[in-house]
Amino acid sequence: MVRNDDKCTHCGACVTICPTAALYKDPQTQEVYFDSDKCIACDLCVPACPPRAMEVKL
């Protein structure tokens, strides 16, 4: 998985859906970060992201 940082609006929709907390919100900046080491490529965040910032890279 990769995140297109140009598309991400930091809306937070993916944070609650990600089972491994690979997508998480920084409480201080309110920005959403993506930790690819935690990602299990379940793809749940792809349809959950309004601007489709999460992309599957094969």
Q: Where does this chain bind ligand SF4 (CB under 6 A)?
A: 1, 3, 8-14, 17-20, 22-23, 32, 39-45, 48-49, 51, 53-54
Least Å from the CB of residue 38 to ligand SF4: 7
Residue type, 16: T
Residue with tokens 């920005």: 31
Phi, psi torsion values for 19, nearest 5 degrees: -70, -20
> For residues 48 and 10, is the Cβ–Cβ distance under 8 A?
no
Least Å from the CB of residue 26 to ligand SF4: 11
Least Å from the CB of residue 28 to ligand SF4: 16
